[in-house]
Structure formats: structure tokens, C-alpha cells
Structure 1
């Protein structure tokens, strides 16, 4: 029986999350895994008891065969033969075989809850931790590589259980029982041959498997690279179609698959070397054992039943050993995959709640909070040795009084959208502070802060679910009537009910089945349904036509009434009624005031207004 390999799960590529981290001790990884099984320690103990019982029954089968064969060596017509064959063979032999299967199934049944529960706990913890990581992490990640890390890590729990509890541990138990029987019933030569063969087999398997690791690692890297490339191409489907680059993407993918094919051939050739060497060692050991047993039968020291028992023992031992190479590699790979997933759990949260952080709690009907930026300095990549960094905000100070609306305009890269990210604490400022009713945002829990803020982003991304689900995401569990009321306020209700499935219409991956304007109106409805005390409109109507923009502007003004609002504007016509307008350039406020005051001043804002009024709306987005 040959040790075939299944397609190996690929290791992390440079785009994967743990690629640059050096491998750690396998024992350390196992130490991280054991606490997840500790809560199931009773089940683990019962499973091990069933395992030992199954192996004891399995080892008892050759012993029974020996007794049966020896008992048949009697004169013809002896009445004992009539009883020995049917009762011994049919009852005892069948009972042992049934016991082996019964205890094996009991082991699997008892331990299933432990393995499934541990895998569930780890996967859930990683999922929650990924959501707790910073925006910077998610902007730098490669989705394909990260999802493969999580998938492989979760599957590794099952693999470790399968190959250790169901393969390695049972084999060790059986080896111990067989050696004990050989040592007590026969001379030490049988024990020495068995031990020598086992040691040689294990050493050869480990050495060759370690030698094959470089080929396996290359195969894994190429497989992960091809997978990431395919995922990236499919995620950018529209871009591929727009530039008619289907053939280009196919050629790139074909080149990756060709490299993968060559790596698989090299891996298969080294596997053949491993299989051949293993079979040679097994054959040599079997010949030595049977030669010694046959010699003992001829000399009268051993019975024919002894020869059959020894042969049966060797077959039972070497069948699982046939797969030792695969088992060893899979366990090593499973430990590596688990370590990568544990590295995700060890990834430090760039933004975390302070130990003494407090909940932002607001009583129903209480006035909205006041926001204040106090000498805020921020850079996405702060200065460090050899890298000067590029400041985004430089000494920014302004206030949004409670219930007022402040608009921010400026050229591309001025730092407008950065204000929203800082308010959400996706990043923390390097100097200065942002306060909410006098409390530093860093002294508030992130969850309570974000519950108090609603946003309509300039680039709306939707879940691949129904329109109703995406609107209700602003307040999960909201009644359908309130969802529809929010859709009406966002002027998208008529469009939704005009589709065949209505509110059950699925929007597709990232909402690509909807137009830009439709997605933006869904985002507006979602924010209206949330009804937070602080609202951010980040180019909230940039994807709408003029007619819908004018209609929705009235709804947005109504939604901002009585709330603290920050408006990040592209079309200056949308901010003329703001209580204050800030003009940003290179992270600094160069002008501030109301619309009429800024026009009268004749500065940057007035020039931008003149350009847009002439029909040449400059692209002033971040």
C-alpha cells in the first residue's frame, strides 16, 4: 500500500499575513492549542480509553488465530475440533473484530465534540480578532492569502486530531503491545528485529521528508501565488473587462499554473523515492521475521500458530507505518498552518481601548455632543530613521458646536477624508487630541464611540445580500416598516419595489449589481435608519445626478438637523448652508467662515466656487 499525497495546503506567500515571521517551535504551537481542548478533557480521556481498548482487541486477533491454528493440530475425528472451529472462530474471532470497530467508532464519537468545538472556538476568536485590528492592517492585507491562512489553520485542528489521535497514538500503543507479546512469548531476537526495522523506517522517513520540505515549500508558495492572483483578478472583474485584458490575465494565470505543474512533478518524484525506500525496509523486516519464525517452526521451537501470529502482527504494524511519511508531513504542515493562524491572534491591535476607557452613553432626547480638534498632527506613515514621512494634518484646530454643521472642502490630498477616519478612531493622532464633549476620544471605548457616529462614505461597499439586509445593517433587527421609511427618505424605495424581488433583491459582490448612485442611496438609507447623534457626509451625493442630489440634499439637511454634522464636500453647492466652512490645503486650514463670507473674501474658496460655477467642476476629492 503506497503513501499517496493529497494536494498540500499552500504556505503563506509574501502577501500572506505571517510570511515574514520565522517558524517557531512545534511544541509552542501545540502549547497554544491545548487550552482549547482542556475544556473537553473528560471526553479526551474517554477517547483515549476507547483507543486503548480498540488496540487491545486488535492485538488479540492474532493471539486468537494462533490458538485456533494450534488447536486444529489434533487427530482426525477428535470431537474437540467440531467445537473449536465454529465456536472459537465464529464467536471469539468475530467478537474481537466487532470490539475493535466498536471501540474505534466510540472513540470517534466521543472525541468529535472536542475537535469540532476547538476548531469552532479558534475560528471564532480569529474572526473577532480580525475585526478588532486596525484599518491599516486591512488596507495592507491580501484577501486571498489571509483567507487561505484562516481556512488552513481551522482545518489544521482537524488534521492534527486525525493524524495524532487516530494514527500516531494508536500505532504507538499497538507497537508497545506487540513488543511486549514478542518479548514474553519468544526470544529477544524478534524484538530486536522489530525495533531495528521501526527505528530505521522512522529515521529514513523523517530524513527524506525533511529533504522534500524545500520542494513542498516551493509547491505551496506557487499554489498560494496562483490562488491569490486568481482571486485578485476576479475581484477586479470590471477593470479586466474595461481594459479587455482577459487574455492577459489568462496568460498570467497560465504561467503560474505551469510553474505549479513543474513543482508538483518534482514533489511527486521525491514522493516516489520515499515510498520505494519505505517498502524496501518493510520487505526486509518481514523477510527477517518470517525467516526466523519459519526456522523456529522447522526446529520445533515454535508452532504453526506462532508463525501465523507473527506474520499477522507484522502486517498490522506496517500497514499504518506505510503512511508515516504522509502523516509526518501533514502533522508538520498542520502545525505550521496553526502557527500562522495563531500569529494572527498575536497581531497587536494598533488601536485599542485604554484600560480606563469609559462607555459613551447618551440618554434618549439628550442634546448632540460637541466635537473639537485641538492642534491635531497626523501622518499615515510617521517619520522614522531613513523615512521622513508625509504629514497629512498639521496643527489642525476647529470645533463643531453641538447641533451645528461644519463643512470641509479642499484640493485632493488636503486631508478631508482623514478627518472621518480619525473621528472613527481607525487611526490615532500623533499629537494633539480630538474631544467629544470635552472627553478625549482615546478615553472612550471604540464600540460606544462608533455607535454614536453615522457616515455616508464616498465609496459605498455593500454586502452580497439583499437590499433590505444592507439598509437594516444600520440598525440590525429594525422592523421592515422602518427600513422602508429610511429607503423612502433616501429616494430609493420606488426603485426597490420596482424590481422583481423588491427588498429581497440581492445586490451582488460588493454591491456591483447596483449603480453608483443606487449604492450611495442605500448608504444614505442605512445611515438614516441608524439615526446617530453625530453624522458624517463624505461626498454623500457625489454619485447622484443633479435632480436626485437636490431632492436628497433636503433629506440630508433634515437628517443633520439637531445633530452634530461634518460634511466633506466635492460639490461646493452642497455646503452653502453649513454653519461654517473650512478650506484645507496640505493639512492646514487656510480659510474658514460661512459661504457668503468666504466668497466676499475672494480667496481659495472663491476661486473654487468660480471654477465650478463655470461648469468646470474641479475634482477635489481626497
Structure 2
């Protein structure tokens, strides 16, 4: 569940739908056209009962040729009204359907654009499956309201108001009685409407839970099948689906009850009043045509109220969906570009200068466990610094702070003498290239996967980067070469091949600061040798930080930083650290002894 206590939407009930107005505002012209068509269609509908009255009283009440003439004229008028009604209804349907699709697309784009700008802290507590559910299921409900329900609601409001006016024109006494009786219909509709909204929100939450679980399991199918947990995961998903079904049934039951009560009360009141009207005709105080007109207008009013109860149910569901979407839009990232961002100086030929001063940091989800403590480090332009240490020492956290995925609670990080918090996020991240430990390959071909490093790179530049990363040799052997589809998450590649694609992507970016997080961890000995040679060539002219558990890959670094429990405990060259006989010497002795054996 996404909750933002300080920013969560405060509106309740259907008033929350007002928050959709900014998405509707750009399309005033379409709304005006739809409104005109709506008015014409409603007017044509309200004209039908009056035409029937005239036909009954003047057509059937006259004699001979005059009667036939009147009947023909009024039937022709009815056909003309039907033609106007058909054209206006078709125009209204087209305009409101267009508006529904357009506004839904805008909302999806706005929510997605906002979500991808949020910092990783947001995704520590939010499942991506829930976000996807809100982007798809919830926006579909809003599309139903904007594209259908609003139009139907306005149409039936017009018919209700127009029908009531014409009822009073026909018979004040009977109409007043209908109004009094219909007033008792409002209370149950309002009561059950609130209940429907609450259940609609719960229903959408349960669907989001099922989507989140399905997404997590489908992304881990090799692990699920390796541990023979297919039946277990199917059972877990089945329980989640049943919970969603149970909540949906409660919502459906509430809506059915709402519809039942509304129809029974409305039509019961109308039948009672019509019974009184029939007596009035028998007594001669009303004509047959007036009673017929009153009956048709009463049917229109009753139908409008029944349709409004349906629209209200849809609107209640959409209100729940809107609330969930607005929660996403109101979530604010703790990491923001400054209002007055500074610019980086021109990058020197030998890379960027990096300084960390007394940096302390803990993850928001683990506030009692510091990941970095009073860490200070100066990296000179063009220097290659290796960062080693046991798992959990804070190495990857250091990279996340450099990219400003998080900000430290204490201390300062500068790039070329400028506090990175004073830089625009895109400026900072464009100056940094990273090869992560967990390589991400997108569902595209090899060319586009490497071009992700720099969107405006030419094909020749992409191929050159692939050759530097020793990726060209296997790409050209794929069916289709650089146009070969690599599969979802790169399932058609080996771990080493995915790693080389990621290295090529970083090299194509040509950053002044290069971050390598276990860049050769997934490679065999031969591929590691090729990539290590490529990386050494790529390190020329840029500052490089290397995280590595395999110490053989960092022996030639200018300096080696040893971290333990979020602190720098040793720093020096490979030879000097071995001579110290500390943590690094013990790690080196252990690894090289195992390698020798």
C-alpha cells in the first residue's frame, strides 16, 4: 500500500474526482461539442412524449380525413425527432469516447513519468506490481467514467430535470406527489453509494496485491522451478486471487442492493401516482393524451434515476481508483534537482576529481544500522581506485551516493569541486558511467541495448564501444548480428555476455567518472582477460572507482581502499597493503592460496 501521510489526497467521496479536472481542462473544445450533442439528444428525447400527446388528442380525437392528416403529420414529426436523436447520440458517443481514451492516456503518461522520477527509496516499500496495477486497472476505471459515465450522468440529469418540468406542466398535483415519494429514494442511494466506494477501493487493492505477487514470481521462474515450488506459488497466488474475488463479490452485492432499492422505490412511486392519474382520466379531469404524456415523462424520469444510480456506482469505483492514482502522483522524491543548479566545469582530459568528506549514511528502511560512517576519501583526476571489503561493508552504497540515488545524512560529496547536491541530477549522472553487478538487459536488440548508454550515438559508435568491451565477437555471431533480439532481461545471453553488453553501454557514454561494480564477476577466465584489457584502455583519461571481490582484478589500481562496517580501515597499493599484514593481506593470502591450489 502506498501511503504519503503529508501529501495523501484529503478529498473524500466523489469530490475526489475533481482532482481529474487538470487532465480534462486541455480539451474544452471537445467538451463543448459533446455538450451540444448532449443537449440536442436530450431535447429530442423530451420532445417524444409531447408529440405522442398531440397525436392522441388531435389525431385520434379528430374525425375522418382530418384525423388521417394529423396522424400522418405527427408520425412524420416523430420520425424527424428520431433522426435528430440518432445523429446527436452518435456525435455524443464519439466525442465522449475520444475524451475517455485521450484523458486516460494522459493520466497513464503523467503517472508513469512521475514514478520513473522517484528515488530508489520509494521502491524500497512499494511493489512494482502494485504500481503496474494502478497504471492499468485503475486508469481503465477512470476511462469508463470519463468516456461513458460522465456523459450518461449528464444526459440523465438533463432528462431528469426536463422530465420533471414537463411533469409539472402536465399535472402539478401528480408531479408534486411523485417528488415527495422520490425524495425517500435518495437516502438509500447515498448510503449504499458510500459503501460501494469503500469496497471498490478494497477491491482494487486486492487486485494490485495479486498483480504484485504474479510479477515477482514470473521474474523468478528459474528459482521457483529449481526449488520445485510451482505448486506452493500457485497456491499462494490462488489465495490472493480468492481474496480479490471475495472483496469484489462484496462490492457487487452492494451495487446490486443499491440498484434493487432504487428501482423498486422509483417505479413503486410512479405506479402509485399513475394509478391516481388513471382515476383522474375516468373522472374527466385529464385527457387521455395528457395521461399518456405524463406516463412517458414519468418513465423518462424513472429511467433517468435508475441510470443515475448505475452511474453513481461506476463513479464510486472510479473515485477509489482516482484516489489510488493520486497517491502515486502525490508521492514526492526526497532526491530533487536544485532550483538554481550549478554547471560542471569543462571536463579535463584526465577525468574528474572526487572528494568525500566525513560522509555518514543509513538507509531509510534501516535507520538504526549505519551503512557508511565518517567516510573521507579524495580521488585525483585520472586515478584508478579499487574498493574492496566483505559483503555489507558499504561498497555499493558508496556508488549509490555518488549517483545521488540517496543523500548522506552527514558529510559532503564534491565532483570537480562542486557539491553534487548543487548539480542537476541529469548533469551529474551524465558525467558518471556505471557497470552494475546485476546487469540489466532490455527487451530490444543488441544495438539498442548498447545505445542506451547514449541515445544519440551512431551505429558506428555503438559498434566501436562493443569492440572495446569485447562484445563484438559474440554479437556478430548472433542470428541477425546487432539486430538480434536479446530476449526479456537478456535471457538469450550468458551471464558473461550480458556483462560485456553493460560494459559497452558504459563506455559508449564516455563519462569523466567510471564506476565498475564487479564488472568482471560473471566472466570466465578468457573473457575476463579480454574485458580487463578493454577496461584498462577505457580507464585512460577518466577517473575510475572499481568494486571487486576478486583481488586479482585490482592489483594494478593506483590505490586500494579497504572498507569494513562502512568505514575505511586501510588504504594503499597492493604491495603496501600486503606488507601491512591487515585485512587486505588476509584476503589476498586466502584468495591467492585458493587460486594456487
Which TM bucket (shorter chain)? over 0.9
The 3 A distance-change label for structure 1 pair 258 and 442 is closer
Cα distance in structure 1, aligned partners of 2:94 and 2:201: 35
Mapped contact 1:456–1:538 kept (Cα < 8 A): yes
1:88 pairs with 2:74: yes
**1:556-601 per-position Cα deviation (integer Å, ceiling 9, x unaligned):** 0111111011111111111111111111111111111112222222
Residue 586 (structure 1) aligns with: 565
Residue 61 (structure 1) aligns with: 48
Cα distance in structure 2, aligned partners of 1:360 and 1:329: 55
Cα distance in structure 1, aligned partners of 2:340 and 2:469: 39
Mapped contact 2:559–2:572 kept (Cα < 8 A): yes
The 3 A distance-change label for structure 1 pair 358 and 123 is farther
Cα RMSD after superposing both structures: 2.6
Cα distance in structure 2, aligned partners of 1:422 and 1:138: 16
- Correspondence list, 1:101-112, <5 A: 101-111=86-96
Which of the numbers 585, 591, 595 marks the counterpart of 1:612? 591
Mapped contact 2:442–2:489 kept (Cα < 8 A): yes
Residue 505 (structure 2) aligns with: 526
Cα distance in structure 2, aligned partners of 1:253 and 1:30: 32
* CA deviation after TM superposition for structure 1 residue 447, in Å: 0.6
Instruction: Give 3-state SS (helix, strand or coil) of 1:68's partner.
Output: helix
The 3 A distance-change label for structure 1 pair 346 and 216 is closer
* CA deviation after TM superposition for structure 1 residue 278, in Å: 2.8
Cα distance in structure 2, aligned partners of 1:489 and 1:288: 88
Residue 125 (structure 1) aligns with: 110
* CA deviation after TM superposition for structure 1 residue 216, in Å: 4.9
**1:56-92 per-position Cα deviation (integer Å, ceiling 9, x unaligned):** 111001111111122222455x2223333333213x1
Residue 39 (structure 1) aligns with: 26
Residue 482 (structure 1) aligns with: 461
Residue 11 (structure 1) aligns with: none
The 3 A distance-change label for structure 1 pair 282 and 292 is same
Residue 73 (structure 1) aligns with: 60
1:195 pairs with 2:179: yes
Which sits farther off after the overlay, 480-489 or 406-415? 480-489
* CA deviation after TM superposition for structure 1 residue 416, in Å: 0.7
Cα distance in structure 2, aligned partners of 1:261 and 1:368: 58
Cα distance in structure 1, aligned partners of 2:475 and 2:278: 85
- Correspondence list, 1:555-594, <5 A: 555-594=534-573
Residue 379 (structure 1) aligns with: 362
Residue 315 (structure 2) aligns with: 331
* CA deviation after TM superposition for structure 1 residue 315, in Å: 2.4
Which of the numbers 130, 141, 144 marks the counterpart of 2:129? 144
Which of the numbers 392, 413, 422 marks the counterpart of 2:371? 392
Residue 4 (structure 1) aligns with: none
Instruction: Give 3-state SS (helix, strand or coil) of 1:475's partner.
Output: coil
- Correspondence list, 1:286-325, <5 A: 286-325=270-309
Mapped contact 1:193–1:288 kept (Cα < 8 A): no
Residue 599 (structure 1) aligns with: 578
Cα distance in structure 1, aligned partners of 2:357 and 2:195: 60
**1:291-332 per-position Cα deviation (integer Å, ceiling 9, x unaligned):** 133222222222222222222222223234334443222212
**1:403-428 per-position Cα deviation (integer Å, ceiling 9, x unaligned):** 11111111111111111111100011
Residue 501 (structure 1) aligns with: 480
- Correspondence list, 1:82-481, <5 A: 82-90=68-76, 92-111=77-96, 114-162=99-147, 164-186=149-171, 188-211=172-195, 216=200, 218-360=202-344, 362=346, 366-381=349-364, 389-481=368-460
* CA deviation after TM superposition for structure 1 residue 111, in Å: 4.7
The 3 A distance-change label for structure 1 pair 276 and 338 is closer
Mapped contact 2:345–2:416 kept (Cα < 8 A): no
Mapped contact 1:17–1:141 kept (Cα < 8 A): no
The 3 A distance-change label for structure 1 pair 550 and 110 is same
Instruction: Give 3-state SS (helix, strand or coil) of 1:615's partner.
Output: helix
Which sits farther off after the overlay, 313-322 or 240-249? 313-322
Gaps of 5+ in 1: 1-13, 618-622
Instruction: Give 3-state SS (helix, strand or coil) of 2:336's partner.
Output: coil
* CA deviation after TM superposition for structure 1 residue 211, in Å: 4.3
Normalised to the residue count of structure 1, the TM-score between the two structures is 0.89
Gaps of 5+ in 2: none
Which sits farther off after the overlay, 366-375 or 522-531? 366-375
The 3 A distance-change label for structure 1 pair 432 and 19 is closer
Mapped contact 2:60–2:71 kept (Cα < 8 A): no
Cα distance in structure 1, aligned partners of 2:520 and 2:17: 53
* CA deviation after TM superposition for structure 1 residue 368, in Å: 2.1
Cα distance in structure 1, aligned partners of 2:277 and 2:147: 35
The 3 A distance-change label for structure 1 pair 197 and 224 is farther
Cα distance in structure 2, aligned partners of 1:43 and 1:361: 49
Instruction: Give 3-state SS (helix, strand or coil) of 2:162's partner.
Output: helix
Residue 24 (structure 1) aligns with: 11
The 3 A distance-change label for structure 1 pair 312 and 382 is closer
Cα distance in structure 1, aligned partners of 2:3 and 2:508: 36
Mapped contact 1:475–1:530 kept (Cα < 8 A): yes
